[in-house]
Amino acid sequence: KDVLIGNDFKPFYKSLQGKDLGVSTWPADKWKIGGGTMCGWIQYDPQLNLIYYGTANPAPWNENQRPGDNLWTATEFARDPDTGMAKWAYQYTPHDDFDYDEINESILIDDLQVNGQPRKALVHIGRNGYIYVIDRATGEVYSADPYETINATKGIDLKTGRPIKNEDKTPSLGKTVTDICPNADGAKDWQPSAWSPRTHLIYVPHQHLCMNWKTSEVGYIKGTPYVGATVDMYAGPGGYRGEFMAWDPVQRKKVWEIHENFPVWSGTLVTGGDVAFYGTMDRWFKAVDAKSGKVLWQMRTPSGIIGQPVSYQGNDGRQYIAILSGVGGWPGVVANAEIDPRVRNGALGFTGAMQDLPAYTSAGSTLLVFALPRQQAPQAGAPLPAASGNVEPGVNTPPDTPTNPPANTPTNTPKEQGNAPSR
């Protein structure tokens, strides 16, 4: 029986209207071991008094063992925070084939122009490769546009809200399906984007990976892996593996992009001075002009970055920027020598995409804090100060770490200028 879904639950799409769909859209009792956890971000709308969150993928990855839509996995929920009762839901990927869970953040934007009308919108940068603009009061999808290379699906049917599957990429038991995009880690993972009310752009760190996928039968044993798929991930078209981009949610298009050698797993910070910050797995912390994408400043950090940049005011009145350097998560398994990088399908297939990461970074956490001049807000285009304090870029890096990073390839933006500041 569905929990905290009652008579006031009014999803927009008919496929989500019914009783106990969290049970009936699964075979037998498979819903009990079917995944769909909530392990990501929660957003709160004080105007509508609703919280929003997404759920994870269904289990196992072998989709042949769980026919049906597998509700309520890969689903956005809107709930009353006082009672917990659901008001609406939208399933991004029914019967998820490729681990496209949707625990990523959603951005709440007031008065976003949709077809010339201001709307209270929820913008979700999906792991399935689409950026959704959704009515946050009703769950209606206004638009869903690809921001990454996608061939697993052919678009989103706005009448039903459902993805249009590409049958050529649909898995079958024992068969290897090649060149599926995006990969099982998604076009974007948990790392949060940032919205600027000044530029009216969303700044998105994400990955550019594709994969080969082979399913196999798997039995459920409590406390053991329950996957049923062998995966091999690799760089997408063009050979780069990550991207940092600016997206216009009104024009529904990419404004500028910076290609990175590795998936961009840091979060994003955009300031009132129109400067966007992000970090890379090959140890660069960067500040870019939020309007043009031009790299204003960069610094090599002791380890790869998957943390969230933050800005705060100290008790001395100065503005500070902080970032935690220290690679971890799936890439950390490779960088920290927890798994043999020669085993391409290790770490659920992520190893194949990250085999060369140990040459660029090693383990170790360091908190770096940068101080801005007193009583001075950051200005777009102005150089940022070098690190203050006892911070030595390059410490704890392996001897074979390349002295220069792979060339970034900004598209429709000026090329990078200058090198990381030296001490």
Percent of the chain with pLDDT over 90: 79
Please give the helix or strand (H or E) that residue 330 lies within, else none.
helix 329-335
Positive/negative CA dihedral, 264, 34, 123, 152? positive
Are the C-beta atoms of 301 and 366 separated by less than 8 Å?
yes
Burial class for 174, CB neighbours closer than 10 Å (0-12, 13-18, 19+)? exposed
Are the C-beta atoms of 5 and 18 separated by less than 8 Å?
no
In a domain, 423, yes or no: no
| Between 162 and 407, the higher pLDDT residue | 162
Token pair belonging to 329: 């998560």
* pLDDT score, position 259: 98
In a domain, 417, yes or no: no
For 172-204, write each residue's pLDDT tens digit: 998 999 999 999 999 999 999 999 999 999 999
pTM for this predicted structure: 0.88
Name the domain count of the chain.
1
Strands in 301-361 per DSSP E: 310-313, 319-325
Question: What domain range is 310 assigned to?
Answer: 14-411
- CATH code (residue 189): 2.140.10.10
DSSP calls for 345-386: TTGGGGGGG-TTGGGT-----EEEEEEPPTT----TTSPPPP
Distance of CA 174 to CAs 31, 81, 279, Å? 24, 45, 39
Partners of residue 86 on adjacent β-strands:
79
* pLDDT score, position 386: 44
Check residue 35 and give left, alpha or beta (phi > 0: left; psi -120 to 50: alpha): left
DSSP-based three-state secondary structure for 78: strand
Which of the four pLDDT bands, split at 50, 70 and 90, describes residue 406?
very low
Partners of residue 367 on adjacent β-strands:
324
Which of the four pLDDT bands, split at 50, 70 and 90, describes residue 348?
confident
DSSP-based three-state secondary structure for 410: strand
For 55-64, write each residue's pLDDT tens digit: 999 999 999 9
Are the C-beta atoms of 64 and 94 separated by less than 8 Å?
no
Q: Average pLDDT, stretch 87-100?
A: 97
For the stretch 328-334, contacts whose Cβ atoms lie closer than 8 Å and that sit 24 or more positions apart, written own/partner, are 329/265, 330/185, 330/354, 331/262, 331/263, 331/265, 331/281, 331/304, 331/306, 331/357, 332/306, 332/363, 334/358
In a domain, 3, yes or no: no
In a domain, 338, yes or no: yes
* pLDDT score of 395 more than 90: no
DSSP-based three-state secondary structure for 23: helix
The C-alpha atoms of residue 308 and residue 319 are separated, in whole angstroms, by: 17
Length of the chain counted residue by residue: 423
In a domain, 119, yes or no: yes
Are the C-beta atoms of 245 and 258 separated by less than 8 Å?
yes
* pLDDT score of 286 more than 60: yes
The C-alpha atoms of residue 119 and residue 134 are separated, in whole angstroms, by: 9
Give Cβ neighbours of residue 211 (< 8 Å, ≥ 6 apart). Answer: 98, 180, 181, 183, 184, 231, 232, 233, 234, 349
For 11-40, write each residue's pLDDT tens digit: 999 999 999 999 999 999 999 999 999 988
Please give the helix or strand (H or E) that residue 209 lies within, else none.
strand 209-215
* pLDDT score, position 173: 92
CA angle (308, 314, 316) in 5-degree steps: 160
Note if the bond before 225 is cis, omega within 30 degrees.
no
- Of 39-43, 67-71, 248-252, the one with minimum mean pLDDT is 39-43
In a domain, 422, yes or no: no
The C-alpha atoms of residue 169 and residue 373 are separated, in whole angstroms, by: 54
* pLDDT score of 421 more than 80: no
In a domain, 5, yes or no: no
* pLDDT score, position 102: 96
- Of 208-212, 312-316, 418-422, the one with minimum mean pLDDT is 418-422
> Using CA atoms in the order 402, 359, 181, 42, what is the torsion angle rounded to 10 degrees?
-100
Residue of 97, 270, 142, 127 whose CA lies nearest to 198: 270
* pLDDT score of 227 more than 60: yes
Mean pLDDT, the chain, whole residue set: 89
The C-alpha atoms of residue 9 and residue 257 are separated, in whole angstroms, by: 40
Backbone angles phi, psi at 123, to 5 degrees: -105, 125
Q: Average pLDDT, stretch 208-229?
A: 96
In a domain, 189, yes or no: yes
Residue of 29, 160, 212, 182 whose CA lies nearest to 96: 182
Distance of CA 208 to CAs 118, 177, 191, 211, Å? 32, 18, 14, 11
